[in-house]
Structure 1
Amino acid sequence: MSDDRLATAIGALLRRERGSRFLTQQTLADLAGVSQAAVARIERGDRIPSFRLIEQILDAMDLQLTVGVEPLDAQVDARLDELATQSPVERLDGIGLDRMIDRLGDLPFVLTGATAALLQGAPIPVDMPEIALRWADAARFTVWLNAALGQRWNARWEEYGGVHVEPEEPGEHRWRTKHGELRARMCDELPESIEVRHGERSYRVVPLVEVELTDPHAAELLRRHRDRHRQRRSAG
């Protein structure tokens, strides 16, 4: 990963976590004992912050920095090529989307992130359904999670369980339930959505352009998919 991409990814992560806690840049800076300008520079992706600085800011939100790995770019491209050969139905079955939607019942939500991109024809990897939920419905969501035997992702232990399931609690909005895994983006109001149909079923999804603006990971996968598509067309 280039320095620019790493700085952008760190900035997006910090904005997301700060926003999910309804903290202003100044409030977070005060909690972390740093300047508001330092928080702003990191969120803009101006430069890669020192590990000490980012850990200091994350600690103020009861978070910690973890080290992970992901496939090399060549392996990501191979996965994109593989998904391009599958039908939309095969891709949706792979993440159990319809089963999860049926179990969510009348809980108001729209599909977002890579899931929304997949439903709009982008063959990008999706590991679990992703939904947007209103904070006003957080209590209803908690009731649903408890009924579904939900366990929340614990970033400290890198596994599910050991933390409260309520979305108001600090931490990543990702759960494992008896119906499958689920990731949620909590927001004040549901984002604008469009209807997409596959077979006899319709889905409310965030438009692709909005996905690219709000989800850096999905945006990067979409960019790689388009680059691969252009390369294949040029080679043909």
Structure 2
Amino acid sequence: MHFSHHPAIWTQYPELAAGVLAARGLHRDVQAESVIARHEAVARARLAASGGESEWPEVQAWRRAFARMGLKPTQYRCASESLLRRFRKEDALPRIHPLIDVCNAISMAHGIPVAVLDVGQVRGDLQVRHAQGTERYLTFGDEVEHPDPREVSFVDDEGNAHARRWTHRQSGLSAVRDGTSEVLVVSEAMHAGGAADVERVLESVREALDAIWQVGASSRRLAASDPRFAFR
């Protein structure tokens, strides 16, 4: 099984920086609050210093990318911006699953989307590509949607769309749940210096996996010249 971005994505978004990590042996019965709090503190300090997430270069770059996709950036926000916006207003996020909570905190600290997918729900290879419009996207309310033609999504070999509007929203199909043991973590950035920041995101995830679950992980940064990552 491989993860990749379609060549057309690299061509249309040459500024894209992407990194992927795979890990197994995950479970829910862990204590993760200290790690979460550390990354949330970074996000809180950055928000206070900047006046809001909309001023962050990481967020601004994704807004420009969404505009190029024909989406209104203030209607469809990348996942990290949505998290930061809620965190700024409420100074907290609801706890979902320790791994999701950790990755959400890391995403906010860096201002970069971090997707976590249950590998057990991915059928065959997974590729970030333009949708044809026939793919199936399962919402968290168990409703089936179809991405718009040319919409960017994470699509597996059976036509399951694991995201809507690229980094806007993940699918309920591959969401991490209590029984999840093997995951694929994807981080993508569009801003100048994004490659180094994606590396830092992956390192933060690796450190959390080691500290909380005592499991290792394989990871790599992707590029147009080397776009594939084997995860099973």
Q: Is the radius of gyration larger for structure 1 or structure 2?
A: 1
Query: Would you call these one fold, judging by a TM-score over 0.5?
Result: no
TM-score (norm 1): 0.29
The structure with the greater share of residues assigned to strand is 2
Q: Which structure would you say has the larger RCO, counting Cα contacts within 8 Å and 6 or more residues apart?
A: 2
The structure with the greater share of residues assigned to helix is 1
TM-score (norm 2): 0.30
